[in-house]
Amino acid sequence: MLHKKYDYIIVGAGSAGCLLAKRLSENAAKTVLLLEAGEKDDYLWIHIPVGYLYCIDNPRTDWRFRTAPDQGLNGRSLIYPRGKVLGGSSSINGMIYMRGQSEDYDLWSQVTGDTAWGWQAALKRYQAFEDYFGGKNNWHGVGGEWRVEQQRLRWPILEVFKKAAQEQGIPASEDFNRGDNFGVGYFDVNQKAGWRLNTARAFLKDAAKRKNLHIISQALVQKITINSNTKHCEGVQFRHNHILQTVTCTEETILCAGAIGSVQILERSGIGAAHRLQQLGIPIQVDLPGVGENLQDHLQLRMIYKIKGLRTLNTKAKSIWGKAMIGLEYLFRRSGPMAMAPSQLGAFAYSSSGQKRANLEYHVQPLSLEKFGENLHDFNAFTASVCNLRPTSRGSVHISSIDCNAAPVITTNYLSTAEDCKVAAESLALTRKIVASTAFQPFQPEEYKPGTQFQSNAELISAARDIGTTIFHPVGTCKMGAKQDPQAVLDAELRVHGIANLRVADASAMPYITSGNTAAPTMMIAERLAELLQKKSLNG
């Protein structure tokens, strides 16, 4: 039964919220309310790894956001998936376990003025929630809730790409999570015995039984309630079963709704740029111009190559017999294509000699298709998607209406800087260089997309605008920063500037995007907040 008052209220049961709910409810003297706008994670396709195909852009599990038409992508609008279900985006993502590079965290430490965000401190948090298949060592932990496993399949074409990358000076790597991910190898994944592991299953399965933790799904938060005189957050207002309800919080309200959702809630609550809120008729609680700004994402450039002499998933899944064999392999062995993450092989590389550390990430797949949601091609091919890990382009997220059902305006501004355009052209050129290596020669690779007609730098940039698409890593829209930073929304302890007892702990807090996939870093942020709140509780 819903109470009217809790010690902690957490909004969003995703990668951050689930971890935080478990940690804070470990203290039996504290009551915790976890609110999730989506449904329970009892949809079968969430738990079968290949089920991301049926979860992304599905209203059962996805908010189904879209970006505004982007000039940097020749006016194209993209789907912008975010999980709307217990487990959040960990229920629909690519399951890749990736921390980024040590310099990412040292930069966070520098811009926030807090050494607790540095690499060595972050590493300890990763080890605390990790259960690593290879056992405990200097880099990994065991016994935590977040299982990290090797993938349960291999494809010959991926081995070819791996050898070709090594021919171009990219060393083999068995572990991308030691602080320097330069190399080529197979991604580790968040799976357990061939099933997807989402954060709801990892952190809430046992914690949900605690009497002091109350979890409500299909609870759409309309706004944070704030005392206008004292500027204290008092709780939240949300709609559940068509009834508007208000609950109060005695200690902290924590937004874990993600780089899109947390912005929407803050702006509806009167926290954001004053001129934007005034236009929507929202009473201003605090003028924070950085809310919704600083959007960063990894733009992937999907290059497709036809090949001969090697079978890929395109033709393996083409026939009824092939599909049946794939299904049987998963049914009896929990392996094969149904157990695979969207991308199996990864590589981290330098786009040019002028880069101080690896600035590209490859996601290599033994398949190809025109765009997400369409059928696989009827010819054997592989896809090499390459991302600029540290883009300089910045976008924004803002509400268009006070109506909590109205879609936000997501402006990505991809390829809006000369630096990002330069890296895009270099990325395509490097991919061609890898595919031209000796290892590929027996298989006669033929560039299908974008096509060999693009040769000059200007032509390659044009091609990037045609084929670029999100790889679903939005961050930074409520960034942490120093007190003197006018665009900072949060301080180093994730407190919202100008409002007491309100924090944000999710990917929106990142001042700079990490050099890799963003799910695990989001969990690390939640682990940091758990440390802070547990310490605060002990100190009374």
Kindly state the tokens that stand for 428. 């395509």
Q: Report in angstroms the alpha-carbon separations of 33 from 2, 3, 281, 299, 444.
A: 9, 9, 30, 36, 58
- Among candidate residues 205, 224, 203, 210, the one with its CA nearest the CA of residue 31: 210
Closest to 45 in 3D by CA, of 255, 228, 198, 232: 198
Q: Is 303 helix (H, G, I), strand (E, B) or coil?
A: strand
Strand pairing class (213-216; 32-35): parallel
Residue 449 · residue 304 · CB < 8 Å: yes
Residues 88 and 258 sit within 8 Å (Cβ to Cβ): yes
Query: How far apart are alpha carbons 54 and 154 in whole angstroms?
Result: 23
Q: In angstroms, rounded to a whole number, what is the distance separating the alpha carbons of residues 327 and 538?
A: 52
Residue 473: active-site member: yes
Strand partners, 245: 238
Nearest-angstrom CA–CA distance, 235 and 227: 10
Residue whose tokens read 């829209």 = 477
How far from 234 is each of 9, 205, 257, CA to CA, in Å? 10, 29, 18
Q: Is 121 helix (H, G, I), strand (E, B) or coil?
A: helix
Calculate the dihedral angle through the C-alpha atoms of 488, 490, 491, 497, rounding to the nearest 10 degrees: 90
- Kindly report each contact of residues 491-496 with a partner whose C-beta sits within 8 Å and lies 24 or more positions away, as own/partner: 491/112, 492/112, 492/113, 492/114, 492/116, 492/117, 493/114, 493/529, 493/532, 494/525, 494/528, 494/529, 494/532, 496/233, 496/266, 496/271, 496/286, 496/288
* Torsion region of 484: left, alpha or beta (phi above 0 gives left; psi -120 to 50 gives alpha): alpha
Q: How far apart are CA 152 and CA 90, in angstroms?
A: 19
- Looking at 214, 363, 398, 473, which residue is catalytic? 473
User: Which tokens belong to 272?
Assistant: 């954001």
360/352 Cα distance (integer angstroms): 10
Q: Which helix (H) or strand (E) holds 470?
A: strand 468-470
Euclidean distance between CA atoms 333 and 349, whole angstroms = 34
Helix axes 457-467, 418-435, angle to 10 degrees: 90
Measured CA to CA, the distance from residue 239 to residue 37 in angstroms comes to 9
> Catalytic residues, which ones?
473
